[in-house]
């Protein structure tokens, strides 16, 4: 039996140190919710989770852009609905102004209302959404994914000949009212086409948004599988390491008591 070198105590201390380190790591995982607390825990997994996290952020940004574009299209359609109401009323006025029983004075009153509605349509054509023209006619480029892919929303304009022909009409005479009715009818037909265009844009944006949502969910699930801690499993590990630390501490105490038996040989 030796005194200077207590092999049992050294072995117990080494095992206790390992158990303590594992207990601390398990505690760090549980407290952080992350499986990878230090880069050394899983270097490859850390690299992959960083890449996935970047993709998630980029996909979220793209979806935000799609959401803004959807609001843009919805605003367009809201204005076009009101323009449609104005054109309907202008058509009614053009028909009423053709009534031969009405005087020129009465037709002049109709013309005032007709001109006011025409001005409303013209002014609507210059409205903006966050500084971007709603009816400038230019296509709007929209981000479709997190890698910078894009698609173009077809633009609409209220300054085309179909609309200017209607807004520039005069119903103060029966002949002018007849001509105005033809022009307003053409504008209504153009409006139908424009609203269909905006509706198609909205539909495309809706599909893109859903696609990005699914992608973001799947990317998040993949990242979670790599970096998020399994609480149930880690709680089991934590309990195991607690027991090992407690038993290791007890065994180290016992090992440190062993050399005292040498005293009996010296008595």
What is the CATH classification number for the domain harbouring 188? Answer: 1.20.1330.10
Q: Are residues 79 and 166 in the same domain?
A: yes
- Domain region containing 204: 65-227
Q: Are residues 175 and 251 in the same domain?
A: no
Q: Are residues 187 and 106 in the same domain?
A: yes
Q: Report DSSP letters for 146-186, one per residue.
A: TTS-EEEEPP-BS-SHHHHHHHT---SSHHHHHHHHHHHHH
Q: Are residues 220 and 239 in the same domain?
A: no
Q: Are residues 234 and 223 in the same domain?
A: no
Q: Are residues 21 and 93 in the same domain?
A: no
Q: Are residues 78 and 107 in the same domain?
A: yes
**Structural domain total, the chain:** 2
Q: Are residues 216 and 248 in the same domain?
A: no
Bridge partners of 150, per DSSP, are 143
In a domain, 165, yes or no: yes
Q: Looking at the whole model, is its pTM more than 0.75?
A: yes
Q: Are residues 74 and 177 in the same domain?
A: yes
Q: Using one digit for the tens of pLDDT, what is the confidence trace for 29-68?
A: 777 777 777 777 678 888 888 898 899 999 999 999 999 9
Q: Using one digit for the tens of pLDDT, what is the confidence trace for 214-231?
A: 999 999 899 888 876 767
pLDDT of residue 118: 97
Q: Are residues 251 and 214 in the same domain?
A: no
Opening angle at CA 80, ends 76 and 82, nearest 5: 125
Cα–Cα dist 133/151, whole Å: 18
Q: Are residues 112 and 88 in the same domain?
A: yes
pLDDT of residue 266: 58
Q: Residue-wise pLDDT tens for the chain (267 aa)? A: 455 666 777 777 787 778 777 777 777 777 777 777 777 767 888 888 889 889 999 999 999 999 999 999 999 999 999 999 999 999 999 999 999 999 999 999 999 999 999 999 999 999 999 999 999 999 999 988 888 889 999 999 999 999 999 999 999 999 999 999 999 999 999 999 999 999 999 999 999 999 999 999 999 899 888 876 767 877 887 788 688 778 878 776 776 776 666 556 555
Contact assessment for residue 94 and residue 177, using Cβ atoms and an 8 Å cutoff = yes
Q: Are residues 123 and 235 in the same domain?
A: no
């Amino acid at each position: 039996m030796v005194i200077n070198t207590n092999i049992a105590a050294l072995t117990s201390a080494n095992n206790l140190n390992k158990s303590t380190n594992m207990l601390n790591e398990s505690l760090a995982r549980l407290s952080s919710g992350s499986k990878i607390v230090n880069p050394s825990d899983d270097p490859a997994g850390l690299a992959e989770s960083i890449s996935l996290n970047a993709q998630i952020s980029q996909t979220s940004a793209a979806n935000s852009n799609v959401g803004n574009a959807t609001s843009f299209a919805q605003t367009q359609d809201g204005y076009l609905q009101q323009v449609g109401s104005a054109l309907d009323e202008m058509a009614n006025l053009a028909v009423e102004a053709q009534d031969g029983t009405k005087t020129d004075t009465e037709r002049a009153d109709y013309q005032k209302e007709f001109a006011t509605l025409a001005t409303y349509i013209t002014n609507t054509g210059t409205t903006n959404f966050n500084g971007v023209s709603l009816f400038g006619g230019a296509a709007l480029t929209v981000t479709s994914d997190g890698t910078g892919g894009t698609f173009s929303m077809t633009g609409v304009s209220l300054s085309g000949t179909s609309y200017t022909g209607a807004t520039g009409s005069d119903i103060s005479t029966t002949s002018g009212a007849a001509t105005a009715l033809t022009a307003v009818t053409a504008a209504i037909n153009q409006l139908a086409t424009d609203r269909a265009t905006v509706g198609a844009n909205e539909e495309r944006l809706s599909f893109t948004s859903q696609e990005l949502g699914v992608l973001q969910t799947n990317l998040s699930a993949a990242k979670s599988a790599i970096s998020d801690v399994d609480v149930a499993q880690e709680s089991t590990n934590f309990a195991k390491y607690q027991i090992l630390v407690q038993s290791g501490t007890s065994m180290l105490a016992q090992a440190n008591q062993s050399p005292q038996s040498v005293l009996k040989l010296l008595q």
